[in-house]
């Protein structure tokens, strides 16, 4: 059985993951409008991954006899000045999510919630990957340096994920 505090924290995380999904979808829409279809495909795949993260927490709350309570999703930012700005934002966002997952893990440890700990360990590993990937894309964009030719190449590379 989940403690009330853990149940509330997991519900907040469901909301954060759904919010992440919405943020990445807003970034995808911005990329579509800027004629960067590969980047849009990458971001849409990321949005789906965040939905799956939310559902993993959703399943955990239900499996433990808790009650899922969905909360408000706020309107995300709608415009970014460049692809570099988008991925700077992706990296910052993932670093923020990592902090939230670590806080959940600390709560699980403090409560001796042995069922939540392995589930959260999966997310800790996932966040390492998420930050690494965002950093790699940002690095590619930095090297591309804003030239139309190299940006086209990066966009095609990113499109491979969505394919
Ligand atoms: Fe669900 Fe990108 O962290």
Domains of the chain: which residue ranges?
4-158
Helix (H), strand (E) at residue 33: helix 4-33
* pLDDT (0 to 100) of residue 163: 59
pLDDT value, residue 162: 60
pLDDT for 29-45, tens place per residue?
A: 999 999 999 999 999 99
Q: Environment class of residue 80 by beta-carbon count within 10 Å: exposed (0-12), middle (13-18) or buried (19+)?
A: middle
- How remote is the CA of residue 59 from the centroid of ligand 1, in Å? 16
What's the pTM value of the predicted model, to 2 decimals?
A: 0.95
| CA 20 – ligand 1 centroid, Å | 7
**Which atom of ligand 1 sits closest to the CA of residue 46?**
2
- Please give the class, per CATH, of domain 4-158: mainly alpha
Dihedral of CA 29/30/36/42: which sign? negative
Q: Which protein residues touch ligand 1 with a CB less than 6 Å away?
A: 17, 20, 50, 53, 94, 97, 130
Shortest CA distance to 38 belongs to which of 92, 73, 83?
Answer: 83
Mean pLDDT of the chain: 96
Beta strands in 8-94 (DSSP E): none
Ligand 1 geometric centre to CA of 111 (Å): 24
Task: Tell me which long-range contacts 46-55 makes (C-beta under 8 A, separation of at least 24).
Answer: 46/90, 47/21, 47/22, 48/21, 50/17, 50/18, 50/20, 50/21, 50/24, 51/17, 51/18, 51/21, 53/17, 53/20, 53/123, 53/126, 54/14, 54/17, 54/18, 54/21
Using the mean position of ligand 1's atoms as its centre, give its distance from the Cα of residue 31 in Å.
Answer: 20
Atom 1 in ligand 1: residue holding the nearest Cα: 50
Rounded average pLDDT over 9-32? 98
What per-residue confidence (pLDDT) applies to 126? 97
């Amino acid at each position: 059985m989940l403690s009330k505090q853990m149940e509330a924290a997991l519900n907040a995380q469901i909301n954060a993951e759904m919010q992440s999904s919405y943020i990445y979808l807003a970034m995808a829409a911005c990329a579509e409008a800027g004629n960067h279809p590969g980047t849009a495909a990458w971001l849409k795949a990321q949005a789906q991954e965040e939905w799956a993260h939310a559902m993993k927490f959703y399943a955990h709350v239900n499996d433990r006899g808790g009650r899922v309570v969905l909360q408000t999703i706020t309107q995300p930012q709608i415009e970014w000045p460049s692809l570099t700005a988008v991925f700077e934002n992706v990296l910052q966002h993932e670093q923020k999510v990592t902090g939230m997952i670590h806080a959940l893990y600390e709560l699980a440890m403090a409560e001796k919630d042995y069922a939540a700990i392995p589930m959260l360990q999966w997310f800790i590993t996932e966040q390492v990957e998420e930050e690494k990937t965002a950093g790699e894309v940002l690095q590619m964009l930095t090297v591309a340096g804003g030239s139309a030719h190299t940006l086209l190449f990066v966009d095609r590379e990113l499109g491979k994920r969505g394919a």
